[in-house]
Amino acid sequence: MKRSDKIIRAIKTLPVIVATVLIVVWLSWSEEGNKIVTASYQPQSTPDLTLINSASDHYNETGDLQYHLVANQIDHYKKDDLAYLIKPDLTNQQPGLNWHASSLTGEANLKTDKITLNDQVEIVRTTADNQKLTLRASTLTIYPNKNYAENDVLTIIHSANSYIETKGFRTDFESGDTLLKSNVRGTHEVQQ
């Protein structure tokens, strides 16, 4: 094939190549802020921030301490503004009431002001005269700004001499009032 033929063929195929590149670039144009999403962008699999053995205090808008959070590890994912917690341990102090919640894992969604604790969740409420109420469940969602926590799963509640099972509960951190949502079964031991 003569040299001139090759040049002509190359000129003919150039627009096709340019068009293909443009299409790929157009397809990869992301709606999110018109940011170019290149093939190398993967769904966020690595945190943008990791805290090891961290302790943090969280305040509400009026400057009151909402809760103190200790965790073995916190992985924060910028894209979803989510923090995954390993062995979280939350303490919430109210007048006359101390709340202490812990679990194996958790997830803090900073956008929706929600902390979900999972796997061997335990929440202990201690009154001023040291009366303890312990609630155990597989999951629990805490709403720090609204000062309450709830779930819809089997929850077991222990106090000094009573044992109660319920399907779902909701507890208010400030008043200490607890609603047992359904299927309430309990035993109260009489002190001899």
Partner 1 sequence: LPEDKTQPIKLEADQAKMNNKTGVSEYTGNVIIIQGTAELRADKVFLYSENNEVTRMEAFGSPAKYQQILNPGEEPTHIEGNKLDLKVKENNAIVTGNGKVFRGEDVLESNKITYSLDTGELKASASDPKTNPGDSRVKFIINPQIKDKSSDSEPQK
Contacting residues toward partner 1, per CB under 8 A: 97, 125, 127, 131, 159-162, 164, 166, 175-192
Closer to partner 1 at the Cβ: 114 or 167?
A: 167
Closer to partner 1 at the Cβ: 67 or 173?
A: 173
Q: Tell me the closest approach of the beta carbon of residue 96 to partner 1, in angstroms.
A: 9
Q: Tell me the closest approach of the beta carbon of residue 160 to partner 1, in angstroms.
A: 4
Cα 154 versus chain centre, distance = 20
The kind and range of the H/E element at 108 are: strand 105-109
Closer to partner 1 at the Cβ: 48 or 177?
A: 177
Closer to partner 1 at the Cβ: 96 or 120?
A: 96
Q: Tell me the closest approach of the beta carbon of residue 142 to partner 1, in angstroms.
A: 18
Cα 179 versus chain centre, distance = 23
Within 13 Å of residue 11, how many CA atoms lie on the same side as its CB? 6
> CB within 8 A of 48, min separation 6: which ones?
76, 77, 78
